[in-house]
Amino acid sequence: MHPLCIRRRLAAGLLSVLLFAAPCVAAPAPLEKLQRGLVALKQENGQVFVSWRLLVTDPAATAFNLYRTNGDGAPRRLNSAPLAGPTSFVDENPGAGELRYFVRPVLRGREYDPAPAFTLAADAPARAWLEIPLQRPADGVAPDGATWTYSANDGSIGDVDGDGVHEFFIKWEPSNAKDNSQPGVTGPVYLDCYRLDGTLLWRIDLGRNIRAGAHYTQFIVYDFDGDGRAELACKTADGTIDGTGKVIGDAAADHRNPGGYILRGPEFLTVFDGLTGAAIDTVPYIPGRHPDTENPTGDQLKEAWGDGYGNRVDRFLAGVASLDGKTASLIMARGYYTRSVVAAWDLRRGKLVSRWVFDSHAGPEANRAYAGQGNHSLSVADVDGDGRDEIIYGAMTIDHNGRGLYSTRLHHGDALHVGDLDPTRPGLETFSPHEAPKGNGGIGTSFRDAKTGRILWSTPAERDVGRGVAFDIDPRHPGAEAWASNNGNLYNAKGAIISDKRPSSMNFAVWWDGDPLRELLDRTHINKWNWADSTETRLLTAEGCAHNNGTKANPVLSGDILGDWREEVVWRTEDSSALRIYVSTIPTPHRLVTLLHDRQYRFALAWQNVGYNQPPHPSFDMATRLRTPAR
């Protein structure tokens, strides 16, 4: 048996399976260790909906026994025969008092150790969400007397102590945050880490020399050194205070200019310990504003990035990728309207080590074709099938080795979708709207081969196409349907118009109601697309919640976070006093390994907070996978 299979099954608590289980193929690294993620929610009818994860480490024949404990009583098995189908269950007669639920894997008649239990308090209300209390930072006051408040903004997840349970990471955005094109001093940005019960583990204060806004602080949470515990990495500066109170750089430095921009002084990249918030290592940020000085003039900035006042130079992106197929590397980037620089880092023995740097304005002459191709977000996927990830940076792609794979010359766009969008052809596809069709031959949206960048089909436009998405919402056509703001049509994966009506939203999507199709997630609601008559049905409205980032209207986080393979949505409450994790309680007939064990999907949750937040896509087509589950 492959040694990785042994390690994986040990992690799953199925040691004795090794005596008789069939050999398996090593899963793509790195594989995140997870507990069952069991969640139980009371419903209005008095029943309790319970769901849990199927792991990639589980043998195909794994079934489950579900137990409930009422108060101090003995555990009672709720299923008459092991549950070999969906990893969910409706407890129709739960009884009163405190309820504890747990599952035991069953294989070939043998029951294995239980996963940690989920407890429902006796007074737990009937609702479709879990709530994590937050500690909102105090309001701020500027020297001129102006005040600002804080709201919970983008989020992420990571297991900080290696117990297989994710903690939640939250960025606190001040009310005076600015877009790069807007002048003005902003309040400091904070990063928090919380356990599911609301325990605040630490708070990082990025300080006065990190400006607040959607394009400045891209934070990536993942286990970069392979020790089973997540770290957090982001750009820092003089005056940043880590989770233990230690200051990075010069605490007294103030590099803000009268317009509020920070265009002078040192810039750092710091990786923090996920459990304590302590800075592990700090290095100069690559690339700096200028290769020759920390204090460039406006003319020097304009020459290097395209303007001299701070708009283009401070456009940052970030991600995580497995560039060798074995470990996780940190991706940090700067610029996309003109010059684009992408840097890959490894965390080794507590030190950040540069793996490679790609610069559209340096290196071989071929790199010049990659200038001006970046989006407001990036994606990470193995587009060429070699087991190593590439960086899809808008209209261009960088190979795992830091060399340009291709540039489409379609230029900048706001949205980006990468996945098996057309399962009838090999490999992955990319769909994106474009902001400058007058400079790319009149192409408003493009559906492309992700390996080569070849345009498979496109739609025309004369001006900026600000929105566009690709999700499977119609079972009559294989793969994803696509639509965008340049027209009112709905297209299938081959580019054929299948309706002259498209959904009302072009934002996020979520696997919610239990079928292979995705539902529409926008603002604080979820809608079902009725493909037969091109209408929508409201499935959920998150009353008392708020969305983030203005017109982008995205949740704090959305993805397969808990329970079975379907996706949860995390919104903040209107007053930012808590996060609410909404969980679907709709029964599903389908059984599927957690999406978190698909590397492309898991990495997408890590970079979801970057720039203009984008929804995650797995490396496979969901309808195909549910018909023929891969083990």
User: What sign for the dihedral angle of Cα 400, 402, 406, 407?
Assistant: positive
How far apart, in whole angstroms, are the C-alpha atoms of residue 187 and residue 396? 35
How far apart, in whole angstroms, are the C-alpha atoms of residue 170 and residue 212? 14
Q: Do residues 33 and 27 lie in contact, with contact meaning Cβ atoms separated by under 8 Å?
A: no
One-letter amino acid of 19: L
pLDDT value at position 29? 55
pLDDT value at position 144? 81
Q: Do residues 174 and 140 lie in contact, with contact meaning Cβ atoms separated by under 8 Å?
A: yes
How far apart, in whole angstroms, are the C-alpha atoms of residue 111 and residue 106? 4
pLDDT value at position 142? 84
pLDDT value at position 145? 87
How far apart, in whole angstroms, are the C-alpha atoms of residue 184 and residue 172? 18
User: What sign for the dihedral angle of Cα 120, 122, 128, 129?
Assistant: negative
How far apart, in whole angstroms, are the C-alpha atoms of residue 113 and residue 437? 58
Q: What is the pLDDT of residues 329-348, one digit of tens each?
A: 999 999 999 999 999 999 99
Residues in the chain, pLDDT under 70:
1-30, 629-631
Which tokens hold the place of 434?
């474009």
Which tokens hold the place of 308?
């001299």
How far apart, in whole angstroms, are the C-alpha atoms of residue 104 and residue 82? 10
DSSP character for 109? T
pLDDT value at position 629? 60
Report the helix count and the strand count for the chain, using DSSP H and E.
4, 45
pLDDT value at position 16? 30
Q: Do residues 490 and 454 lie in contact, with contact meaning Cβ atoms separated by under 8 Å?
A: no
Element housing 456 (H / E):
strand 455-460
